[in-house]
């Protein structure tokens, strides 16, 4: 079975009532590729209002979640809060969580397991720094981050992997088509060897890192690139063109 193309939009800590309404209106009125699954992730303050207003088959994701049940976790959202309000997805392991907030691969794995157990689907982010790439450690780093999850998770059917080289996030630098495909193929090979060939074949691996409407078409043609996790460009009208990248 062919893997369904997937495009996620991570708004990060951006947006106002007016600007997010404009994004929602644009997506609701757009003609989107029916063969592409779309998930958008506004800041937590706008999760419920976005979920209520978005249409066109688009789902909504939280940008983060805590792995413990409801309790004394100041500033956190829990999985129960998300599922009770119809939020179906969460982004975990983004490089900003790993680097700025010092979340370890093991902690991210705990959160991934908790979210899956709660019934959520997970966009699991992995990626290497520039220093690690230049040292030839791209796959060592990415697969190490995945191994922490493989150690605690058996069912990968609700995980989408997002390969996001840290050096390409928000920098305007983009991995070449060849670099991105090579990394994706290596990740898929690791899944086949470590988890199972069935999981490797079924799991969607997204590319993230300064994706725009200008480079998305060529990236989308690669056999192991199953979509994108888009940052800044998801705030712009051209996000529609990225969603429709397979049509170009």
Which active-site residues does the annotation give?
94, 164
Rg (CA), the chain: 17
C-alpha–C-alpha distance, residues 135 and 187, integer Å: 18
The DSSP 8-state label assigned to residue 152 in this structure reads T
C-alpha–C-alpha distance, residues 128 and 56, integer Å: 34
Q: Please give the C-alpha separations between residue 60 and each of 88, 122, 215, in angstroms, as whole numbers.
A: 7, 12, 25
| Residue for token pair 């390969």 | 163
Task: Determine the length of the chain.
Answer: 248
Tokens at 178, concatenated: 């060849």
The DSSP 8-state label assigned to residue 67 in this structure reads S
C-alpha–C-alpha distance, residues 177 and 246, integer Å: 15
Question: Please, what sign has the CA dihedral across residues 115, 144, 231, 154?
Answer: negative
Cβ-count burial 106-139 (b if 16+ within 10 Å, e if not): ebbbbbbbbbbebebbbbbbbbbbeebbeeeebb
Which residues make Cβ contacts (< 8 Å) with residue 52, sequence separation at least 6?
none
């Amino acid at each position: 079975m062919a893997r369904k193309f997937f495009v996620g939009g991570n708004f990060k800590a951006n947006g106002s009532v007016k600007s997010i309404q404009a994004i929602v209106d644009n997506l609701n009125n757009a003609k989107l590729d029916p063969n592409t699954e779309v998930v958008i992730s506004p800041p937590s303050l706008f999760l419920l209002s976005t979920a209520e207003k978005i249409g066109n088959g688009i789902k909504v994701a939280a940008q983060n979640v805590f792995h413990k049940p409801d309790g004394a976790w100041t500033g956190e959202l829990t999985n129960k809060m998300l599922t009770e309000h119809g939020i179906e997805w969460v982004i975990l392991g983004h490089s900003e969580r790993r680097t700025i907030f010092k979340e370890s691969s093991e902690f991210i794995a705990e959160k991934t397991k908790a979210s899956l157990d709660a019934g959520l689907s997970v966009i699991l982010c992995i990626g290497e720094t520039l220093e690690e790439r230049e040292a030839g450690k791209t796959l060592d780093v990415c697969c190490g981050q995945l191994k922490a999850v493989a150690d605690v998770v058996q069912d990968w059917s609700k995980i989408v992997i997002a390969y996001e080289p840290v050096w390409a996030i928000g920098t305007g630098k983009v991995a070449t088509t060849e670099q991105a495909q090579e990394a994706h193929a290596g990740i898929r090979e690791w899944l086949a060897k470590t988890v199972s060939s069935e999981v490797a074949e079924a799991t969607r691996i997204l590319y993230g890192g300064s994706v725009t409407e200008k480079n998305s078409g060529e990236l989308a043609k690669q056999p192991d690139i199953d979509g994108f996790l888009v940052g800044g460009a998801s705030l712009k009208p051209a996000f529609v063109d990225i969603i429709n990248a397979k049509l170009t």
